[in-house]
Structure 1
Amino acid sequence: MPAGPVPVSPDAPPLRGPGLLDQVWRDLSFLHWRVDPTRVAPLLPPGVAPDTYDGTSWVGLIPFRLTDARFGSGPVLPYVGSFAETNVRLYGVDATGRRGVVFASLEAQRLAFVLGARAALNIPYTWARMRAGQEGDRYTYASRRRWPGPRGVGGRVEVEVLPDEVHGDPLADFLTARWGLFTRHLGGTWYLPNEHARWPLRRLRLLHLEDTLVAAAGLRGVTDRAPDSALFSAGVRTRFGGPQRVPVD
């Protein structure tokens, strides 16, 4: 069972108040590795501790396509609102029991989106040369960072999606059903909640992995071995709510 206050629910709690940002996440490959919590703790913002499953922390490498981004109920943002993305993420929990993602890095194709996310909430987006493609059940993602450094880090991921669906798997829920993110900003730590439908998940086979993003995030050697979990989702539409202050001792 998960080593936390309660198992992670596959269903999102409803947002309190209006949604501030709406996006669609498509063709996601969730690749995850076990990591010692002592390696993860220094990478988390103040007030956030490593969230663990079976006594270990996890780091995820998740390439996908983000589309149809909009503010609130406004129109979809042209050009800047759709792009390939790859994020490196960790998992944390605060003193109130809120569990969320901590992004170590997020590669994105659109410089304007990168600059806006960094300015608004200090979310560590980086500008990269990227592509994401599909041929049948095979998906390929490639990335090379442009700005800020280290320039050139990135890699290539190729996967094959398998037919078996994933239901009632507590580890899959722990790694994918995350209803908010933590970020450092303006001298404090903030929690940004989000909600979406339950993930449609399938298993995948990793065909090729070339990665330097996880090492650049501070976890060298992790992706030199096969992932401990490999999942795929066709995607969901998601909404983000307003930021909430995280208590820090």
Structure 2
Amino acid sequence: MTEWEFDRVAAPLRPPIVFDQHWRNVTFVHWPVEPATVAGLFPPGCRPDVVEGRTYVGLVPFQLLGVRIGRLGPIPYFGSFAETNIRLYSVDGAGRHGVVFCSLDTARLAIVPIARLLFGVPYTWSRMRVRQQAGGDWRYESRRRWPQRGLASTLTVGVGAPVEPTQLEQWLTARWGLHARIGGRTRWVPNAHGPWPLHEAEVVQLRDDLLAASGVVPAGDRLRALWSPGVRAQFGRPVTVAER
């Protein structure tokens, strides 16, 4: 096996479906990272996912729409909101690839304590705005309210033509789960979605405090940005990860 071998298509989720949602107007901005510098940020039982000696950190703002829990319909108020993630790339001893979140900023205060308690992910409450400007550029704005009040992120991208992802870009976007501490154990939460329709994106403006606040230090130049109109995503039941 080579380090590039990974699942380019999601495996079917075993029922029940825990969450069903749409990720819309997504921008991916990535930097390379030395794996040893972030190893301490991963929960027990998983480690940085590495390709050609590097791992990566992503700044990923988007809109989350039409959230459903189980077989329930879309949830009013909680079902649609903006979100900005700082994420790392993970793999566990069973070879399950995923992401580890350093932070998830959301505009919905009520989600923060629930998600932290039930799903082990570091949600924070922020004032957020996502809009398409008159010239067609997409602008994402976030200013944190709690915790670490005042941290801000502003990103504007110009969306270009559709592109075929490189091998590395496929590796960064074909992530079929997340690793998190839930109930005192490390769990892998599987997800499934269709292929990302990707466009090249020009970073017009980027002022960001969130990456530095995460403690992650890039080890090289920023990769080309990507934008997507989005996909429908579903999450399955968490799987316990062996920690030794």
Task: Compute the TM-score of the two structures, normalised by the length of structure 1.
Answer: 0.93
Rounded Cα–Cα distance in structure 2 between residues aligned with 1:39 and 1:228: 19
- The answer for the alignment partner of 2:229 in structure 1 is 234
Q: Could you tell me which amino acid in structure 2 is paired with residue 77 of structure 1?
A: I
- Structure 1, unmatched stretches of 5+, are none
Rounded Cα–Cα distance in structure 2 between residues aligned with 1:24 and 1:146: 25
Q: Is 2:185 aligned against 1:191?
A: no
Alignment: residue pair count: 243
- The answer for the alignment partner of 1:41 in structure 2 is 39
Candidates 148, 152, 155, aligned match of 1:154: 152
- The answer for the alignment partner of 1:56 in structure 2 is 54
1:45 Cα deviation after fit: 0.6
Conservation of the 8 A alpha-carbon contact between 1:8 and 1:174: yes
Q: Could you tell me which amino acid in structure 2 is paired with residue 210 of structure 1?
A: R
Rounded Cα–Cα distance in structure 2 between residues aligned with 1:96 and 1:42: 20
State the Cα RMSD in Å: 1.6
Conservation of the 8 A alpha-carbon contact between 1:166 and 1:203: no
1:226 Cα deviation after fit: 5.2
Q: Could you tell me which amino acid in structure 2 is paired with residue 142 of structure 1?
A: E
Conservation of the 8 A alpha-carbon contact between 2:97 and 2:176: yes
Q: Is 2:89 aligned against 1:91?
A: yes
Q: Could you tell me which amino acid in structure 2 is paired with residue 49 of structure 1?
A: R
Q: Is 2:20 aligned against 1:22?
A: yes
Rounded Cα–Cα distance in structure 1 between residues aligned with 2:212 and 2:205: 17
- The answer for the alignment partner of 1:182 in structure 2 is 179
Conservation of the 8 A alpha-carbon contact between 2:201 and 2:224: no
Q: Could you tell me which amino acid in structure 1 is paired with residue 131 of structure 2?
A: G
Candidates 8, 11, 30, aligned match of 2:9: 11
1:3 Cα deviation after fit: 6.0
Deviations 1:132-165 (A, max 9, x none): 00135310001011112x1111210000111132
Candidates 201, 204, 208, aligned match of 2:205: 208
Deviations 1:184-234 (A, max 9, x none): 1222100000001111111111010001101111124x39x8522311111
Local SS of the residue matching 1:215? helix
Task: Compute the TM-score of the two structures, normalised by the length of structure 2.
Answer: 0.95
Q: Is 2:136 aligned against 1:137?
A: yes
Rounded Cα–Cα distance in structure 1 between residues aligned with 2:9 and 2:106: 27
Q: Could you tell me which amino acid in structure 2 is paired with residue 186 of structure 1?
A: G
- Structure 2, unmatched stretches of 5+, are none
Local SS of the residue matching 1:18? coil
Q: Is 2:243 aligned against 1:248?
A: yes
